[in-house]
A and B are shown apart, each in its own frame.
Chain A
Amino acid sequence: ILNVEQSPQSLHVQEGDSTNFTCSFPSSNFYALHWYRWETAKSPEALFVMTLNGDEKKKGRISATLNTKEGYSYLYIKGSQPEDSATYLCAFLNQAGTALIFGKGTTLSVSS
């Protein structure tokens, strides 16, 4: 059974703080890892699709790294802003490429 774990479950930071979350996934039969941001009442928004060991991707103040050999990915947010408040989901693509297996998410709250 494929299991994707995310930590912490929730996080509360002050505006301007930098933060990071962890996603761990099965290291065997790796195909791709996806990160999404999901704000309440909106559609989950794709942040990154990561496929190569050692990959590092960046989008504005958000970046992510990937280690497929040990089965983890980190998401970093530099200088958090209130608009970064959301649930951040990571998902592991199954071997058939037909389904995303999601973690439970990390819910970030940023206070101004």
Chain B
Amino acid sequence: GAGVSQTPSNKVTEKGKYVELRCDPISGHTALYWYRQSLGQGPEFLIYFQGTGAADDSGLPNDRFFAVRPEGSVSTLKIQRTERGDSAVYLCASSLRGQGSEQYFGPGTRLTVT
């Protein structure tokens, strides 16, 4: 079956612009997670959805970052007024139930802010 997919695979944008990153989880997975990996670091948690609601958004760095999952499937991570420090690989993962069940990752979107 299909795994987690993310689009685009690469995104280059100018400082100050708005970007949207998309994640298609594995069908039937109720939990969805966003992480980002900056250069030289491990992936860092951003937000966790259970169904349509954000159950834990404690990892979002500031109010320029926002994520939605309106129908409990596809999720979009939105970044306003991008900064060079936002450059990273943004990873999405899904799991069957959340709360400790195994997370399956997509290939990531590499965001470069120039």
Contacts and interface: CB of A to CB of B under 8 A. Distances in A.
* A, B bound: yes
Interface of A: 4, 6, 31-32, 34, 36, 41-46, 49, 89, 91, 93-94, 96-105
Contact of B100 (A45, A97, A103): A97
A42 B107 contact: yes
Contacts of A99: 33, 45, 48, 56, 58-59
Which applies to chain A's interface (DSSP): helix, strand, loop or mixed? Answer: loop
B107 A34 contact: no
Interface stretch (B11-19, B36-44, B66-74, B78-86): B36-44
27 contacts: A6-B42, A31-B100, A41-B107, A43-B3, A43-B4, A43-B105, A43-B106, A43-B107, A43-B108, A44-B91, A44-B105, A46-B104, A89-B42, A96-B56, A97-B99, A97-B100, A98-B48, A98-B99, A99-B48, A100-B35, A100-B45, A102-B42, A102-B44, A103-B42, A104-B40, A104-B41, A105-B42
B37 to A, nearest CB: 8
Contacts of A94: 45
Contacts, number: 60
Given A43-B4, A98-B98, A34 B42 contact: no
Which applies to chain B's interface (DSSP): helix, strand, loop or mixed? Answer: loop
A75 to B, nearest CB: 15
Interface in B96-114: 98-100, 102-108
A101 B45 contact: yes
Contact of A46 (B45, B91, B102): B102
Contacts of A103: 42
Contacts of B4: 43
B42 A4 contact: yes
